[in-house]
Amino acid sequence: MDRKLRILCLHGMAQNEVIFRKKTAVIRKKLDKMADLVYITAPHLSVHPEHTSEALREAAADPTAPEELKPFGWWAYSDFQSPDDEHLTGFKESIEAVKDVLIKQGPFDAVFGFSQGASFASMLTAVLENRTLLPEFISPEFEHPPFKFAMVAASFIPNRPSVAKLFASKIKTPSIHMIGEKDTLITPEQMMTLANAFEDPVLLTHTGGHVVPSNAPSRNEIVAFVTKFT
């Protein structure tokens, strides 16, 4: 490939593009010669007490606080929403926001997500690959091509009927899945369920917790995976 890969980066729940950029600095440096990592912030403020600290909620409520201190998410959690509800709250708005990025800043060769962002990245990968899955959100006429690969860290399949159909058939896009053995927020079993929704997933197991791994063996495995697409 004559040009660098362009990788769309989606942060986790209660983060933003600035935080995710900092948390992936080591990986970004290792990939610098072959890829440009493009970070974006989700459209929804994330203020549910279960997922945010008091400081984050105060920053979210302060109109003068810089964006890098505010918590955002790709969909919202609500005490009033039943797991039987068809759609994730705010999912449509996030799809529209990302479609706008794909049009204005794309095309992107790949997607890299962490936690909730990796879950959203997996769904986005599925619908770009198969336009019949959510035609009301991403139509067959939408011009962005499927991703060449997906990088999925510490993630899961949300419990919603509208989401289940996205994973009913194996996703054929090549993928690497980063699984922390000591993760207490998303269990390794949940991560494996998502990984198994992909065809022939590459598994990167590390001894850390709910993080993007940055130790030398993990870095080398990530670089080796991405190199295959250059």
* Catalytic, out of 46, 94, 115, 119: 115
Whole-Å CA distances, 143 to 117, 140, 154: 23, 8, 30
Please report the beta strands in the chain, taking only residues with DSSP state E, as ranges in sequence order. Answer: 5-10, 35-40, 44-45, 72-73, 110-114, 149-153, 175-180, 202-206
Has 210 been annotated as catalytic? yes
Has 183 been annotated as catalytic? yes
Angstrom distance (rounded) from CA 5 to CA 230: 7
**b/e burial code for range 98-112 (CB count within 10 A of at least 16 → b):** bbeebeeebebbbbb
Query: 124: Cβ–Cβ under 8 A, 6 or more apart, which residues?
Result: 95, 98, 111, 147
Has 51 been annotated as catalytic? no
Longest CA–CA separation in the chain, Å? 51
* Catalytic, out of 109, 183, 206, 218: 183
Angstrom distance (rounded) from CA 221 to CA 223: 5
Residue type, position 100, single letter: D
What is the phi/psi pair of residue 190, to 5°?
Answer: -65, -40
Counting runs of H as helices and runs of E as strands, what totals does the chain give? 8, 8
* Catalytic, out of 48, 51, 210, 214: 210
Give residue for tokens 């510490």. 154
Which residues are annotated as catalytic? 115, 183, 210
